[in-house]
Chain A
Amino acid sequence: MGVTCFQVKREEQSSDTNKRHPALVLNISLVWVLFGLVAYLLAIAISPSKTSDIIVKRHTPLDIAIIGDSRPHVGLSPERLTHGLSDGGHHTGTIYNLAEDGSGLAQHVSLILQGLLNQSPIPKLIIWAPNPLSFDEHRLTQKINQLRVEDLQILWSCKAPLESTLDVATGSIFTPYRCRSRIRDLLTELPIITKVITGLQKRILSLQFNERIADREYLPSIAGYEPFRVIDWKIRFESASATYLRKYARLQVGEWEYNATRFMLQKARHSGCHVIVVELPVAPWYREYLSASRPHVVWRNRMQRLCIEEGATFVDDSDAIEDNESFGDPGHMSVNTAERYSLQFGQRITGIPEVQRALQGKARTSQ
């Protein structure tokens, strides 16, 4: 009797299990489909494009392109550079600053290879202003979602970490994944959300907030160059110094970054585009505490060697400016310094034979 009951129960359970399996699979699939649909809709609705994407997509022909992260973005003025080059006897066409805040090596290589060198005509000169932090693996993880399916091959051939390659691959298959950080920023910056959060804090905790005083003010962007004026130099300089120390403490540059740099420099040379790799001026404080550190020295030596081997020009201007006050923070020039430096830089590079040849050469089309 007991055995029979047990058998019946087991059969019931088994038939119940058989019924539940397809239903469960169906429900899980439904969740994924709905999730994918909503995520896609959000991505389509609010995903903006980067300035650099727009420029490249418009096929705006450029004579000189400036590439890098926030340092050249706020530190190299196309207008003053044009003046500097004219002073040296070179009258150039369009110069555009395509540098983007927080971007890293992968984005720079992608923009140069997939964007600029695919344009027609290709730029005569690329001024690339990297620094060890733009080679940092940590930065890569934050920003790699901006890359596209075309970049996968570069990552793979340069032996990028598997996780980074998968990151790009996932973003290529599933667009919302690639745009997730932008969507999050847009959602969290919605005025209603900010208002609700601040209101709650005031009501629940009776907090009185001091209005946050901005320590810098951005000036209108001209040809992609967006300088800033410092409002409270001391606060800005000190808080940024602490951040830089933190970033350098965990700085990690892998071999694949150098492989990607070499790959990009080779492609540029074969396309007839000259690349100037410039280490932009940094504050004396930065030079004392960070540029002298082992990872920075190793990075600079590797970059110098790569430039020699691949026919690019390396310009070390890190010590071009002698006082901390000329900088908005240890790594970024303030507006007056940026303008002055851009002019000098333009004048100086006209003296480099490779640059002269590149600027005098005819525009080339991409192959």
Chain B
Amino acid sequence: MYFNSLTFLYFFTAVLVLNAALPLRLRNTWILVAGFIFYASWSPTYILLLLATAAIDYQVAIRMAAIPIKQKRKPWLIVSITWSIGSLLFFKYSQMAVDSLSLGTGMFGVAWTPPHLDIILPLGISFYTFETISYGIDVYRGDLQPKKSFFEYLSFLMFFPKLIAGPIVRASELLPQLAENRRCSPEQTEQAIHLLAIGFGKKILLADNFAPFIEQVFEHPSAHNRWACLVAIFGYSMQVYLDFSAYTDLARGCARLLGYELPINFRQPYLAVSISDFWKRWHMTLSRWLRDYVYIPLGGSFGSRMNTYRNLFLTMLVGGLWHGANWTFVAWGALNGAFLLIERAWHDLRGSTPKRDFEMGHWERVGRIALVFCLITFTRIFFRSPTFSIASEMIATIIHPTVFEAEAQFALLGIPCASLVYIYLARFREQWLSAEFRGWAIPGYVIYLLTLLFFGATRTEFIYFQF
């Protein structure tokens, strides 16, 4: 059940209507039931895995809270993390491990064909696993009191708007809201409608209309010329942002209509002035998670410079691997880690701190934005390519000079123009979100809905569902 499907549209309408009709005390139960239906529509069997994960983490958290000394809580924390990481490793990385083993033994002359394990990746496992891990660690650290009621904990974990592709919410953000039994105010309704409109526009008008050209080029880069490859790479950079941020907007919009707030995940990432700035604006809930549960436990920026560089690099490698069971994702993480490391080393050598937006001149800012966008887009080649050979084919086609031929008129003009217009319009996002639903908003929305209906692309999966 994708957010952009009719099934979800009817399902969510029913959820909203019943939610409004039910007394406040029953609303959480209803939202939990809706979470079950939502997940079961993909696979009823895998709900058991989710329930098992929830039950183990719930029990472990209760037991940890009963132990006053932090050190003695550790075995329980290990149990919880082993289960969560273990299930993630099994479902997500088994095939990669087997393939890599075959490749490794092949290098030493022992050739064998790796078996196809045929393991189905449970939808949203990367997201909910990170949520359960953060819950366990927060309780272990004493930052969070565990929930006494399994029902409440399950309501947090199975809150359907964020269940399968984030944002990665912390228990401390959502549990208090669930305890309050909230209702949606007219202002929240207006904002939610705006969020849903922005999300649908990004997904079905832009991202999905970009997709066919990009898919075609990435399938066989050398069959296209340099310009087509460049447009495809920059187009993909925009597509992945539009697609993923659309999901977040839709998730936040749906949650808000139910009366709940989910954290923001993107803050105009392509207007970042440095790589570290980019990672503060892109998939913010993942960056936050990696910072708190990987980077800082590794030692963070305490200790020697070399340790800091190592920690940065390792954190980005974990971030890369989290995205998918493929070495291209590891390469993507490594590249980002390398860029962060170079940036950090540069400042360390000069003894300076990174400049902030307002400390720069206009042209310096524009130049930095362009440079960061180009570097990030370069890393996307590895993010998008299914294999290293496709990635190198893409790079080779761009480097190799070819005669310009306009082969995809829409893509050549449409993707860069739509991207620029979008970046420009992003400045007005906050104004749009706070606008009241009256006056010019009415004809504006009529035209917008007509555009969505007639020019929206055919339904496709969100890119981040595969992670």
Contact = CB atoms under 8 A, between A and B. Distances in A.
Q: Do A and B come from one complex?
A: yes
Interface of A: 17, 20-21, 23-24, 27-28, 30-31, 34-35, 38-39, 42, 141-142, 162-163, 166-167, 170, 176-177, 180, 183-184, 187, 197-198, 200-201, 204-205, 207-210, 242, 246
A354 to B, nearest CB: 40
B186 A20 contact: yes
A207 B406 contact: yes
B159 to A, nearest CB: 23
Interface string B397-419: 00000000110011011000000
Contact of B193 (A28, A34, A38): A28
B189 interface: yes
B182 to A, nearest CB: 14
A209 B409 contact: yes
B7 A177 contact: no
A162 B7 CA distance: 7
B412 to A, nearest CB: 7
19 contacts: A21-B186, A23-B438, A24-B186, A27-B437, A31-B445, A34-B442, A35-B450, A39-B450, A39-B453, A42-B450, A163-B6, A176-B453, A177-B453, A180-B454, A183-B454, A197-B409, A198-B409, A201-B406, A205-B412
A176 B446 CA distance: 14
Contacts of B223: 242
Interface of B: 5-7, 10, 41, 185-186, 189-190, 193, 219-220, 223, 405-406, 409-410, 412-413, 437-438, 441-443, 445-446, 449-450, 453-455, 458-459
4 smallest CB-CB distances across A and B, nearest first, come from A20-B186, A166-B6, A35-B449, A34-B446
B437 A28 contact: yes
A184 B412 CA distance: 21
Nearest to A22: B186
A184 B455 contact: yes
Given A17-B185, A205-B412, A210 B405 contact: yes
A198 B413 CA distance: 9
Given A17-B186, A24-B437, A183-B454, A197 B413 contact: yes
Contacts, number: 77
Contacts of A141: 458-459
Contacts of A201: 406, 409, 412-413
Interface centre among B190, B219, B438, B446 (most CB of A within 10 A): B446
A189 to B, nearest CB: 13
Given A42-B454, A201-B409, 10 more contacts: A27-B441, A28-B437, A31-B442, A31-B445, A35-B450, A42-B450, A170-B6, A184-B454, A187-B454, A201-B413
A74 to B, nearest CB: 24
A45 to B, nearest CB: 13
Contacts of A246: 219
A84 to B, nearest CB: 39
A194 to B, nearest CB: 10
A200 B443 CA distance: 28
Contact of A35 (B220, B410, B437, B446): B446
Contact of A200 (B7, B413, B442, B446): B413
B453 A31 contact: no
B409 A30 contact: no
A30 B446 CA distance: 9
B406 A210 contact: yes
B9 to A, nearest CB: 8
Contacts of B406: 201, 207-210
A142 B458 CA distance: 7
Contacts of B413: 197, 200-201, 204-205
A205 B413 CA distance: 8
B398 to A, nearest CB: 18
B1 to A, nearest CB: 8
B228 to A, nearest CB: 13
Contacts of A167: 6
A349 to B, nearest CB: 37
B218 to A, nearest CB: 12
Nearest to A243: B216
Contact of A38 (B186, B450, B458): B450
A83 B79 CA distance: 78
A215 B152 CA distance: 63
Nearest to B410: A197
Given A35-B446, A35-B450, A180-B454, A166 B7 contact: yes
B15 to A, nearest CB: 16
Nearest to A187: B454
A358 B223 CA distance: 51
Given A28-B193, A207-B412, A163 B7 contact: yes
